[in-house]
């Protein structure tokens, strides 16, 4: 069967002093399969947009800010990740500059500035702990990983950096 993932973006917005990251605490919808977890911002790509345009649109919709500097940090294939076992392919960005003031909340939950050194203490998808250090490190190479999920649990993690 061919691999036909849902294509999405995932962005991590740094504070102006680069010590905090804007996260969404998914606490607004009881039926949300990510309920209670913290995550970056992003979502599905529209058919008529490239991944950068999609990332900018998603952050504008979810946080009310315009990305003025962003950089692709990597890609991740998430076979089986979706609520019903759908495959996802994500383009992961680091946003280092923006204009505007972030919303306090959006339809998914509250938006919170979290200290970079406090990310590990947050409830999040267990797999995020594997790639998040690479989003924020100083290595200029992008990472490209695969993280299969089954029944809502990460099964493995492999990646390359180029």
Predicted confidence (pLDDT) per residue in 111-120, tens digit: 999 999 999 9
Instruction: Give pLDDT tens digits for 63-78.
Output: 999 999 999 999 999 9
What radius of gyration, in Å, describes the C-alpha atoms of the chain? 15
Alpha carbon of 84 to those of 79, 80, 88, 94: distances in Å?
Answer: 11, 8, 11, 28
- The residues, ordered by sequence, that sit 6+ positions from 22 with a Cβ below 8 Å of its Cβ are 12, 13, 14, 15, 41, 63, 102, 111, 112, 113, 114
Instruction: Give pLDDT tens digits for 9-62.
Output: 999 999 999 999 999 999 998 888 788 999 999 999 999 999 999 999 999 999
Whether the Cβ atoms of residue 72 and residue 93 lie closer than 8 Å to each other: yes
The chain-wide mean pLDDT, for the chain, equals 96
Domains of the chain: 6-157 (3.90.79.10)
pLDDT category of residue 96 using cuts at 50, 70 and 90: very high
**Which residue from 129, 135, 126 is spatially nearest to 155, judged by alpha carbons?**
126
């Amino acid at each position: 069967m061919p691999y036909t993932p849902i294509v999405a973006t995932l962005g991590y917005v740094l504070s102006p002093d680069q010590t905090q990251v804007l996260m969404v605490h998914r606490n607004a919808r009881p039926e949300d399969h990510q309920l209670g977890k913290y995550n970056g911002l992003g979502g599905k790509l529209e058919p008529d947009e490239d991944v950068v345009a999609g990332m900018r649109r998603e952050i504008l919709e979810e946080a009310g800010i315009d990305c003025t500097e962003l950089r692709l940090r990597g890609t991740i294939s998430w076979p089986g990740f979706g609520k019903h076992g759908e495959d996802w392919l994500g383009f992961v960005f680091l946003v280092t500059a923006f204009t505007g003031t972030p919303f306090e909340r959006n339809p998914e939950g509250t938006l919170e500035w979290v200290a970079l050194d406090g990310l590990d203490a947050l409830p999040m998808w267990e797999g995020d702990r594997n790639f998040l250090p690479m989003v924020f490190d100083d290595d200029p190479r992008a990472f490209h990983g695969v993280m299969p999920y089954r029944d809502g649990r990460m099964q493995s993690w492999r990646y390359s950096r180029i």
